[in-house]
Amino acid sequence: MSFDEARLAVAVRALGEPILALEGVSLAFGGVKALSDVSFDVREHEIRAIIGPNGAGKSSLLNVINGVYRPNAGTITFRGERHHHMEPRRSAERGIARTFQSLALFKGMTVLENILAGRNLLMKSSLFAQALRIGPALKEEIAHRKRVEEIIDFLEIQHVRKTPVGRLPYGLQKRVDLGRALAAEPRVLLLDEPMAGMNVEEKQDMSRFILDVNDEFGTTIVLIEHDMGVVMDLSDRVVVLDYGRKIADGTPDEVRSSQAVIDAYLGVKH
C-alpha cells in the first residue's frame, strides 16, 4: 500500500470507542509540576498525537500511561478499567507497548533476539522445556519465530536480522525499537518521538510504517512528535501541552488555527 492510499484509508475509517482515557492527571517531581490536570481520551484504532514545546510534559504523559510514573492525582481508564496509576508489567500484559525517545534497545542482542524479547509475555512453556527445546516448547518457539520474521519482513530489516543492534545505524535501530513493541501484539502503541534525529527519507519510511501498523493491525497509536508536518499528516486528533497543561485538543486543522497553540509555539508578550 502506498503512502497516499494508506492516508486515505485512515481518513475514511471510522474511529472506535475510547480505549484509553485520562482524567485530571497531575504529576509533580518535588516542587516541579510536570503535568497539571490533564484530561483526554484515545479512541480505538486512531492515531493520537501529543505535541508541545520542549519540557511541556509529553514524555511524562507517556510514562504515566505505561506506569513508569505514578501520577499524584487523577485516573487512567484503560479498556474499561479505572486505575489511579498503572504498573509497567500490568500495562504490558493488558496490551500497551512503547518505544523510546532515546533508544533503549538491548544492544548486546541481535535484531531477531530484540524483537523476540518483545514477545516475552506471550511465551508460556516452562524454563526447562525451553532450555532443552522439547515438545510443545519447540512448537511454541517456532510459532514465535514465525511471527517475529513477519515483523522483520514488515519493517524491511531482513538484511540485518542477525546483527547485534548496537552496530546498526540510528534509523534502523529506531525500526527495531518499533519492531520490539509490535512483537507484543499491543492494543495501544505509545511512540515517543519515533522520528527524532532522522533525515527526510527516514522520516517518510517511518511514517509509512506507522500508518501501515495502524491500518493493517488496527493498532491504536499514541504518538509524540516534534515535526509538525509529520504530526499534521499522520494523526486523527492532536493534544497540545504547554508547561504541563493541556492547551488544545482536536483535529489537526482545529489545533493549527488555535490561538493558544500559536502563542505557545511562537511566544507571546505577557
Partner 1 sequence: MSSRRAALTWAFFALLALAAVAPMLTGMARFPQWLEIVLGGLMTGVLYSLVALGLVLIFKASGVFNFAQGAMVLFAALALVRLMEKLPFVVALVVVLAIMVALAWLVERLVLRPLVNQEGIVLFMATLGVAYFLDGFGQLTMGSDVYTLDVGMPKEPKILFEKTFEGGILVNTEDLIAALIAAVLVAALALFFQKTATGRALRAVADDHQAAQSIGIPLNRIWVIVWSVAGLVALVAGVVWGSKLGVQFSLQQVALKALPVVILGGFTSIPGAIIGGLIIGLGEKLSEVYVGPLFGGGIENWFAYVLALVFLLFRPEGLFGERHIDRV
Can you give the binding site for partner 1, defined by CB under 8 A? 66, 68, 88-89, 92-93, 97-98, 100, 104-109, 113, 116-118, 120-121, 123, 127, 130-131, 133, 180-181, 184
Contact of 180 with 118, CB cutoff 8 Å: yes
Considering the complex, what minimum distance in angstroms separates the CB of residue 240 from partner 1? Answer: 25
Q: Shortest gap between Cβ of 178 and partner 1 (angstroms)? A: 13
Shortest Cβ distance from residue 65 to partner 1 (Å)? 11
C-alpha cell at 216: 493493517
Greatest C-alpha distance within the chain: 70
- Nearer Cβ to partner 1, position 96 or 238? 96
Nearer to partner 1 by C-beta: 116 or 238? 116
b vs e for 120-150, b when ≥16 Cβ sit within 10 Å of the residue's Cβ? Answer: eeeeebeeebeeeeeeebeebbeebeebbee
Of 20 and 181, the one with the shorter C-beta distance to partner 1 is: 181
Smaller CB separation from partner 1, 167 or 229: 167
Query: Around 184, how many Cα atoms within 13 Å sit in the side-chain half-sphere?
Result: 24
The nearest distance, CB 112 to partner 1, in angstroms, is: 11
Q: What is the CA radius of gyration of the chain?
A: 19
